A and B are shown apart, each in its own frame.
Chain A
Amino acid sequence: METIVEKSLEDIFEEKIASEIRIEPKDWMPEKYRKTLVRQISQHAHSEIVGMLPEGNWITRAPSLKRKAILLAKVQDEAGHGLYLYSAAETLGTSRDQMFEDLLSGKAKYSSIFNYPTLSWADVGAIGWLVDGAAIMNQVPLCRTSYGPYARAMVRVCKEESFHQRQGFEIMMTLCNGSEEQKEMAQEAFNRWWWPTLMMFGPKDEESPNTEQSMRWKIKRFTNDELRQRFVDMMVPQAEFLGLTVPDKDLKWNEAKGGYDFGAIDWNEFWNVVKGNGPCNKDRLKARNKAQEEGAWVREAAMAYAEKAATREKKSA
């Protein structure tokens, strides 16, 4: 007789994580892992959905038919990304309705960047170039995140996202090569979006309580500060190429670390926006609540019809 050494479920789970085996919905997982995932994935989904609003704001005013088509397709992609992500979170046993409720009540968080207003057409370019650029830095490593459905959703998201940043850069480049007014428009938008974009990577590592556990579970692959540094190093040359001035007096190349040193982020502003005091927090939630409330009768009607149709089918069978 062989003796079977009983491994605890937790050991099996940890082994899988250690050997880069994906965790799938029906596998045993620690409750805290599940909770962390639901929180992170739903926040990510909410960000996509709320993120539709600032850009969607410009769909009716896009300056050419081509730009209109691209922007419309892009904002629609964000709806799709939200949908993929909600589906991934649903495999963990939380319904989309529940997640929506948390968003609409203000309980759940979403990326603070979308609480800033889009004031000019250049903002659409700046969002694509900067905000999507930052999002991609966050998202590419998530294609290897330890939870299978999340990783698969992210592969899809990243694939589709690849044109988003380019379209933003293209808008900025067109403006920067355009008239004086257009150049000013581009610089002005850049000034407003630069710092909030740096905040997108989240609080400094020493103030990010969830990072360590998330890294250990391979939900997260890089720390906030690592990603932020990479982003700055990537964007500064692009801004130079466009002829835009980075709104940071302290920005300086640091030969020793092979990267840029940059000025202090205004964390008061960050936390204030997180708390709900950003310029558009209220508008964003109002818009989402309105869509949800005004759509209720539609969702009910479809359900009622489906039930009636099913009954009819049974009777006729």
Chain B
Amino acid sequence: MNKKEWPLWEVFIRSKQGLDHKHVGSIHAADAEMAILNARDVYTRRMEGVSIWVVESSHIHASNPEEAGSFFDPANDKVYRHPTFYVVPAEIKNM
């Protein structure tokens, strides 16, 4: 089995109109067209989706987990980015 294996693709599915595509898993396929068909056959058997994205896994670049501290901790103390930081009088509705 020294033949080349079909590349791996990451599959993202929009479960319904208006929502983001979400990573659901991966599949193997020789090309993009087939990757979409395969993703459909594997990941939407129970009406899970209305749209599919596929990306060859080798094309995904990820942040380094060892840098997770410097990447994500700074957002920890920026409470002013969250709506609950602000005092809104009780009489004001729907804000």
Instruction: Indicate if A touches B (C-beta under 8 A).
Output: yes
Residues of A that sit less than 8 Å from B by CB:
24, 26-28, 73, 76-77, 80, 83-84, 87, 90, 95-97, 100-101, 152-153, 156, 160, 292, 296, 299-300, 302-303, 305-306, 309-310
Question: Chain A at the B interface: mostly helix, strand, loop or mixed?
Answer: helix
List of A residues within 8 angstroms of B42 by Cβ: 80, 83
Cβ–Cβ contact A101 & B4, under 8 A: no
Q: Give 4 A-B pairs besides A28-B66, A101-B1, A303-B4 with Cβ atoms closer than 8 angstroms.
A: A153-B25, A303-B30, A305-B31, A306-B31
List of A residues within 8 angstroms of B30 by Cβ: 299, 302-303, 305-306
B6 interface hit (Cβ, 8 Å): yes
A309 to B64, CA, bound (A): 34
State which of B5, B26, B64, B65 has its C-beta within 8 Å of the C-beta of A97: B5
B45 interface hit (Cβ, 8 Å): yes
Q: Whole-angstrom distance from the CB of B6 to the nearest CB of chain A?
A: 6
Cβ–Cβ contact A87 & B26, under 8 A: yes
B27 interface hit (Cβ, 8 Å): yes
Nearest-neighbor residue (CB-CB) of A97 within chain B: B5
Cβ–Cβ contact B65 & A26, under 8 A: yes
List of B residues within 8 angstroms of A302 by Cβ: 6, 29-31, 34
Number of A-B pairs whose CB atoms are under 8 Å?
55
B8 interface hit (Cβ, 8 Å): yes
A305 to B30, CA, bound (A): 8
B75 interface hit (Cβ, 8 Å): no
Nearest-neighbor residue (CB-CB) of A23 within chain B: B65
State which of A24, A160, A299 has its C-beta within 8 Å of the C-beta of B46: A160
List of B residues within 8 angstroms of A26 by Cβ: 62, 64-65
Ordered nearest first, which 4 A-B pairs have the shortest CB separation? A302-B30, A306-B31, A306-B30, A87-B26
Nearest-neighbor residue (CB-CB) of B35 within chain A: A306
Cβ–Cβ contact A96 & B5, under 8 A: yes
B3 interface hit (Cβ, 8 Å): yes
Cβ–Cβ contact A27 & B65, under 8 A: yes
B40 interface hit (Cβ, 8 Å): no
B14 interface hit (Cβ, 8 Å): no
